[in-house]
Amino acid sequence: MSDLLLIVTIGGERVALAAAAVESVVELDTLIPVPRAAAHVAGLSALRSRVLTVIDCMRSLELGQTDCADGIREAAVVELDGHHYALIVDLVEDVVEALSEPVSVRAAMGAGWERVSKGMVETEQGPLLLVDVAALVAGAERQAAAKLFVTVSV
C-alpha cells in the first residue's frame, strides 16, 4: 500500500485523513455563523473566492466544541459532491505513507470515533486511526436521523 495520509490532531488524538481527499491545509481567520445549521457546522468561510462550509470536527465526533474565539484555526479543505468543506482540527502535523491496509479496531473508541473510523493503518510513526472524511462532514445528527427513519419506516 502506498497511499499518503495527512496526520492531524482532533480532540487531542492523532489520526489520519486520506491525503488524496484533502485539497489544501489552511488557517481560517474569519468564520460567519449560519443560523439553524446542524450543530457540527461551525459556520462559513471564504477561500480564494470559494465559500467553505466549516465543520467543527470536535462537535461532529460528539467530543465537545472547538473554541473559535481566538480567530485562527487550522483546517483541512476537502470537496465532497461538488461542495467544499473546511474541517477544523487542533493541529496539522505531517504527510506520511500508509504501510498497510486499514484493519478493524478491536477496542471501544466511543460512538463518534466508531462512526468515522475506517480502521487502523500502520505508518512509519506507528498505527493511526484512518478517519472517513464524509462521515466527519455528515456529523452525528445525520446518522441519528437516518437510524430514526429506518426504525420508523419498518
Give the pTM.
0.86
**What confidence score (pLDDT) does residue 127 get?**
94
CATH class of the domain whose range is 4-153: mainly beta
Q: Alpha-carbon distance 11 to 66, whole Å? A: 9
Domain ranges across the chain: 4-153
The pLDDT score that the predictor gives to residue 139 is 93
* Per-residue pLDDT of the chain in tens (154 residues, 90 and over written 9): 569 999 999 999 999 999 999 999 999 988 898 999 999 999 999 888 889 999 999 999 999 888 766 677 899 999 999 999 999 999 999 999 999 999 998 888 889 999 999 999 999 999 999 999 999 999 987 544 444 334 444 4
pLDDT for the residue 108:
84
